[in-house]
Structure 1
């Protein structure tokens, strides 16, 4: 029994959510892939997939085996290349998770640039503002902005962005412009929902740190919605420079209390806590570390 081949067909079927797609990729037929997975299940003595008219659904055992099998297959390919005395061309599907705004502003374009450099790699970019289960969702690299990171993951901070207080000129024309941090309490403050600190805001001016309590009737869990709300004149907000630098440069937003800023927002690359990372993941992380810190609104912190 060619166990490695069976494992490859199983992982690709689950990656693509389709027996037929896995068959087309392997240059074989759907019944052949189905029989291969059935043989693998018999060999392991567990059911890996539930088949239905709506597609494939992995069992709990199937999800665990999928993660381990993908890692083993990647290690095998790297070992094969090493023993043959040459570096293996990175191949395969790379699953990446990132926040929506960062994906729209930066990662979508960067992913296309990376794909052009590596024609044998595919990227599945999933954009949402929640932290996913890296292992359970089969994520190779998660790009995260600030906040606590899971203790069972490995994080690599690559860049930081200053956070500015900003508002639209139309809002500032209709309200007394803040002259000191305490004045923010008298303004509509637009902020991200579910913040651990709630309405308390920490600002810094050099070594001086001040905490103020803001108020606001609107909060939202999406950075793009905050940007649009500020642009519409809904209030004042504290935003990372990368999100609003273009609007400030164009005069559509203005800085408020420019001597004061929030704690810089850091961007980190997060991977499952495991010793081995496939070559495609290592290449992508190195690529992002080199590129994001050079973009407007960011400062590189990569070693």
Structure 2
């Protein structure tokens, strides 16, 4: 029996939920996968999978064996990568996830640049504002903007970007410029739909919360920024989002001595002893490029 092939058939069947899914992933047939898994069960002397009309499920022995089998395959892949690194360029498929706005504003251009540097790599960029579990969804590298960090992943800190209040020049010309936080109560304040009514600011006199109420709320950060650019009101935006717009005068800073809660940016990836070369070059590339985004409040921490 080809033990390595049998382990691949078993692990893919579990993680893809069917023998047919494993067959597609391994570029073979369902009967072949079934024979490989059955042979593995015979060699171990235990049943690993229950096969029913509803699908596959792991036996108690299968549950214990699955995680170790997956790690064995990862270790084998790492060993092969290590041997080949000296004679090959980084190659293969990478899957990366990131928030929608960061992807649209910055990562899409970075991805195109990265592919130009590494012609043997394929890159799939998954833009989604929900939490994407890298282990469950086969994501190699995940860029996280704010939020809790999973304890079972490596989190590489890239930098800290404060939030600042901004508005368009036309809005300020028409409505005037706030001079103190409480002046925001007389203005149109735009916010993300999931946010709180009040806005928390840190200033020279310490923190202050202004109980602003928003007539317009939207659940997409790009749409929110477009509304600010169109003169609809004042909004709190991360500096990685608006630094270039402030520099070219399309937006102006409001209450320049006050900032909102900062955003921490991290790269997340699995804690494997030997990451494939393609993953390592992507992590290093993104760490360098993202840390250079404008508006960071302090240097990148390794």
TM-score (norm. length: structure 1): 0.77
Listed as ranges, the matches of 1:45-194 within 5 Å are 45-46=47-48, 71-80=71-80, 82=82, 86=86, 89-194=89-194
Listed as ranges, the matches of 1:1-303 within 5 Å are 1-8=1-8, 11=12, 23=27, 32-42=28-38, 43-44=40-41, 45-46=47-48, 71-80=71-80, 82=82, 86=86, 89-195=89-195, 198-205=197-204, 208-272=206-270, 277-298=275-296, 300-303=299-302
Structure 2 CA distance for partners of 1:49 and 1:280, relative to 1, 3 Å = farther
Measure the CA separation in 2 of the matches of 1:72 and 1:238: 48
8 Å Cα contact 1:67-1:135 kept in structure 2? no
Structure 2 CA distance for partners of 1:234 and 1:287, relative to 1, 3 Å = same
Structure 2 CA distance for partners of 1:225 and 1:85, relative to 1, 3 Å = closer
Cα deviation, 1:177-207, whole Å, max 9, x if unaligned, reads: 2101111122221122323x552312234x7
8 Å Cα contact 1:161-1:264 kept in structure 2? yes
Measure the CA separation in 1 of the matches of 2:281 and 2:63: 25
For structure 1, which segment, 250-259 or 100-109, has the greater mean C-alpha deviation from structure 2 after superposition? 250-259
8 Å Cα contact 1:81-1:88 kept in structure 2? no
Structure 2 CA distance for partners of 1:187 and 1:100, relative to 1, 3 Å = same
Measure the CA separation in 2 of the matches of 1:41 and 1:88: 33
Could you tell me which runs of 5 or more consecutive residues in structure 2 were left unpaired when the two chains were aligned. Answer: 42-46
8 Å Cα contact 2:81-2:277 kept in structure 1? no
Computing the radius of gyration over CA atoms, which structure comes out larger, 1 or 2?
Answer: 2
Measure the CA separation in 2 of the matches of 1:98 and 1:68: 29
Measure the CA separation in 2 of the matches of 1:47 and 1:133: 25
Measure the CA separation in 1 of the matches of 2:123 and 2:66: 18
Specify the SS of the correspondent of 1:174.
helix
- RMSD over aligned CA atoms reads 3.8
8 Å Cα contact 1:191-1:237 kept in structure 2? yes
- How many pairs are equivalent? 289
For structure 1, which segment, 175-184 or 69-78, has the greater mean C-alpha deviation from structure 2 after superposition? 69-78
Could you tell me which runs of 5 or more consecutive residues in structure 1 were left unpaired when the two chains were aligned. Answer: 24-31, 52-56
For structure 1, which segment, 285-294 or 36-45, has the greater mean C-alpha deviation from structure 2 after superposition? 36-45
Specify the SS of the correspondent of 1:178.
coil
TM-score (norm. length: structure 2): 0.78
Cα deviation, 1:214-233, whole Å, max 9, x if unaligned, reads: 22122222211111111122
8 Å Cα contact 2:85-2:277 kept in structure 1? no
How much does 1:300 deviate? Answer: 4.0
Measure the CA separation in 2 of the matches of 1:146 and 1:271: 16
Structure 2 CA distance for partners of 1:77 and 1:172, relative to 1, 3 Å = same
Cα deviation, 1:111-140, whole Å, max 9, x if unaligned, reads: 222233333432221101111222222222
* Equivalent residue, structure 2, for 1:54: none
Structure 2 CA distance for partners of 1:75 and 1:21, relative to 1, 3 Å = closer
